[in-house]
Amino acid sequence: MLKGKEIVLGVSGGIAVYKAVELTRLLVREGANVNVVMTKSAQQFVTPLTFQTLSGNPVSTELFDLTRRSEVKHVSLAEKSALLVIAPATANIIGKIASGIADDLLTTIVLATQAPILIAPAMNVHMWENPIVQDNIKRLKKIGLKFVEPGSGYLACGYEGKGRLTEPEAILKKIKALLK
Ligand SMILES: Cc1cc2nc3c(=O)[nH]c(=O)nc-3n(C[C@H](O)[C@H](O)[C@H](O)COP(=O)(O)O)c2cc1C
């Protein structure tokens, strides 16, 4: 059902970036055309080459990019996407979106797109429980952004609790539901 659908996958800098690799694979398997946008921090965890190879598309990382055609990338990606999914979404990117900050390619696309936005947060349990993060999420839900709740369990940071990125299959299910 995702055949030919244009999906922008925003990847921000958390340890769960490796799960976004699997999500890319699942989306491509369903026939979607996936354009991955990575923040600077995300590239500390996995290189763009991995996403580029799996998606079959160039990975976008720069807002100011002179190496490609003269298109304004944040506008073209924003306009062509049927859905923007951010997985994993850091506390930082959620905060920036909630504040209307657009200081890199991904946050600029968020402001420029009219497509539905799905956010899959992943972070340390104390970050997740922080009222600042919860307030930001509440605000974004109120204006129509969709979320997939993180799961609970053992976290990569060594803590136990809520904050694990939802499994890629569950994110895929939510994407399909939103695009129905
Ligand atoms: C090893 C490591 C793991 C991290 N994991 C997370 C995480 O899972 N969630 C999160 O919100 N921030 C995490 N951070 C912090 C973010 O990388 C940091 O806030 C960064 O500024 C996020 O940038 P971005 O939102 O532009 O990608 C981690 C940092 C390090 C060094």
Name residues whose C-beta falls within 8 Å of residue 34's C-beta, 6 or more positions apart in sequence.
Answer: 7, 8, 9, 24, 27, 28, 55, 57
Give me the pLDDT at residue 68, please. Answer: 60
Say if 12 falls within a structural domain.
Answer: yes
Distance of CA 153 from the midpoint of ligand 1 (Å): 19
**Which residue range(s) make up the domain with 166?**
6-179
107 CB within 6 A, ligand 1: no
Domain count of the chain?
Answer: 1
Residue 1 included in any domain: no
State residue 86's pLDDT score: 98
Residues in Cβ contact with 90 at an 8 Å cutoff, skipping those fewer than 6 apart? 12, 13, 14, 41, 121, 122, 123
DSSP H/E element including 142: helix 131-142
CATH (domain of 160) = 3.40.50.1950
Averages of pLDDT over each 10 residues, the chain, 180 residues: 94 97 98 97 98 96 75 82 97 98 96 97 96 98 97 81 94 96
pTM: 0.96
Active site residue 45: no
pLDDT of residue 72: 75
